[in-house]
Amino acid sequence: MVPEPGIYVGSLRHRRFRPVRHEFRYPVFQVLLDVDRIPELMSVSRLAGYNRWNWAAYDERDHFGDPALPLRERLRAAAAECGVTLPLGPVFLLTNLRYLGYCFNPVSFYYFCGTAGAVEMMLAEVNNTFGETCNYWLTPECAAGANANSPGALPHRYATRKVFHVSPFMDLGLDYTWIFTPPAERLVAHTSTHDREGLLFDATLTLGRRPWIARELRRTLAQYPLMTAKVIAAIYWQALRLRWKGAPYFPHPGAVSEGSPRRSIWKYV
């Protein structure tokens, strides 16, 4: 079944199991956009905009690569740099928009479909609060579990190394497991982090679809008027709680001197 653009509303749950226990859950929403139709989709409502300020807006600068190029071209170029061959079908992006001019995306997910419409691979575009970006290409080569023997098995499951500094309370050199259901009336995106002793952390995004129409966008914005501001506030609040609980602190591995450039793009297959 070919995915359709939509507004996905639900919850995000984080759980830390070691060395200190910590858990929270927040109501959230994200949007699913066909990357070839973004300007058209953002014209659905007077409250939405493309590359211009509005209550809800998509801005090309909020994703990796040259914002002067269409997102499809940036994806193709980044994939080629990593030796990844993209499927020939549509591509869908699950992400936060800008709300009243502000955006922060801890992670955006790209669903790459084949010509028949089924999801064949994924990309996780991860951002940290230092202004850095890391692309995790989730291809059949890093499929895990049942997917390793049957690439079409559902849900889609992948395994990669953790190579990017995100939380100051988690070190590098760990392992990720990623699990996704295809975006339909409901979707789940689950990430877990492991070390040699087992599970350290997991995050689960559980969302239900609303149609991409003006009425539903207005309703969702009224329920969640400042979604990305809430995201960044929650990040710092939960970091303070973890610090208070005594969670081990891991400084940024690139913090070598005052004024060192922070902006970089990491890629990992």
- Supply the pLDDT for residue 150: 74
Structure token pair of residue 165 = 């500094």
Q: Which two tokens stand for residue 259?
A: 């004024």
Residue 192 has pLDDT above 70, yes or no: yes
- In this prediction, residue 151 carries a pLDDT of 67
CA–CA distance, 73 with 85 (Å, rounded to integer): 13
Helices in 118-226 by DSSP H: which ranges? 146-149, 214-223
Question: What band does 208 get if pLDDT is binned at 50, 70 and 90?
Answer: very high
pLDDT score recorded for residue 147:
82
Classify residue 102 by its DSSP letter. B
Per-residue pLDDT, 60: 97
pLDDT tops 90 at residue 234: yes
Q: What is the pLDDT of residues 55-90, one digit of tens each?
A: 999 999 999 999 999 999 999 999 999 999 999 999
> DSSP 3-state assignment of 178?
strand
CB atoms within 10 A of CB 108: 19
Q: How far apart are CA 213 and CA 59, in angstroms?
A: 19
Q: For residues 188, 174, 195 and 16, what is the CA-based torsion angle, rounded to 10 degrees?
A: -50
Residue with tokens 């690569």: 65
Residues 124 and 137: their CA atoms lie apart, in Å, by: 7
Determine the Cα angle at 189 with ends 183 and 194, to 5°.
155
